[in-house]
């Protein structure tokens, strides 16, 4: 599928409040037919979704420790997580320490997921992921570990107000760029 046709289809699913504010862009190399161009997402004419751009306001993590030490990441800890730690330690750990250990375990898993999703995004072909998005149900894209599928689903008009509000806890566990587009979409509701 050509870029112009794909862009037209993606824009047809765009939330009406984001039309004119949100834009899909692509560059191509005229004299290098074997080299794919870059695809990126712009909001208010600013490049937002491109990992290689130093002017982007979205944080791209380089190491697992950066994720663990980031104070902006909020981790919801359930009673099941605390009970799991309690059973693993056989009740020998003080109560206030259980929450710290549970948070550390969750952040370690989250850090690995974020870094793998981020590295997959840097290798992904925007056009292939966008075509995949157009051919699958919106629920699958929202639940996916793929950052780009999450973003395309969040700006989609098929995701309504109630669903956006109900997914606020899940979004806290996603990459900062997904959180950015979630906040952008919430601002239009």
- Say yes or no: 70 and 155 in one domain: no
* Average pLDDT score over residue span 35-52: 72
- Say yes or no: 18 and 94 in one domain: no
- Say yes or no: 90 and 138 in one domain: no
- Say yes or no: 52 and 133 in one domain: yes
- Say yes or no: 93 and 182 in one domain: no
pLDDT confidence bin for 16, thresholds 50/70/90: very high
Structural domain total, the chain? 2
Kindly report the average pLDDT of the chain as a whole number.
82
Tell me the two tokens of residue 109.
């898993």
Rounded CA separation 185/25 (Å) = 19
- Say yes or no: 144 and 169 in one domain: yes
- pTM for the structure as a whole: 0.69
- Residue 27 pLDDT > 80, yes or no? no
Tell me what pLDDT residue 18 has.
92
Beta strands in 117-171 (DSSP E): none
CA atoms within 13 A on the CB side of 103: 13
Query: Considering the domain boundaries, does residue 28 fall inside one?
Result: yes
- Residue 74 pLDDT > 90, yes or no? no
Q: Convert the pLDDT of each residue in 87-138 to its tens digit.
A: 988 888 888 888 888 888 888 888 887 777 776 665 457 788 888 999 999 9
Contact (Cβ atoms closer than 8 angstroms) between residue 73 and residue 25: no
* Average pLDDT score over residue span 137-160: 91
Write out the residue range of the structural domain in which residue 91 sits.
Answer: 64-113
Query: Considering the domain boundaries, does residue 135 fall inside one?
Result: yes
Residue 40 DSSP SS3: strand
């Amino acid at each position: 599928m050509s870029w112009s046709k794909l862009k037209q289809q993606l824009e047809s699913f765009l939330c009406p409040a984001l039309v004119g504010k949100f834009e899909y862009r692509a560059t191509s190399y005229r004299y290098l037919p074997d080299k794919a161009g870059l695809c990126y997402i712009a909001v208010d004419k600013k490049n937002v979704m491109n990992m290689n751009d130093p002017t982007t306001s979205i944080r791209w993590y380089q190491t697992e420790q950066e994720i663990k030490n980031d104070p902006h990441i909020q981790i919801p800890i359930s009673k099941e997580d605390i009970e799991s730690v309690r059973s693993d330690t056989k009740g020998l750990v003080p109560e206030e320490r259980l929450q710290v250990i549970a948070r550390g375990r969750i952040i370690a898993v989250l850090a690995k997921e974020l870094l793998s999703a981020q590295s997959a995004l840097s290798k992904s072909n925007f056009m292939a992921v966008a075509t995949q998005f157009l051919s699958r149900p919106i629920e699958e894209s929202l639940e996916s570990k793929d950052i780009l599928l999450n973003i395309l689903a969040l700006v989609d008009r098929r995701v309504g107000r109630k669903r956006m509000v109900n997914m606020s806890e899940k979004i806290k566990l996603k990459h900062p760029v997904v959180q950015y587009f979630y906040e952008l979409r919430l601002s239009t509701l």
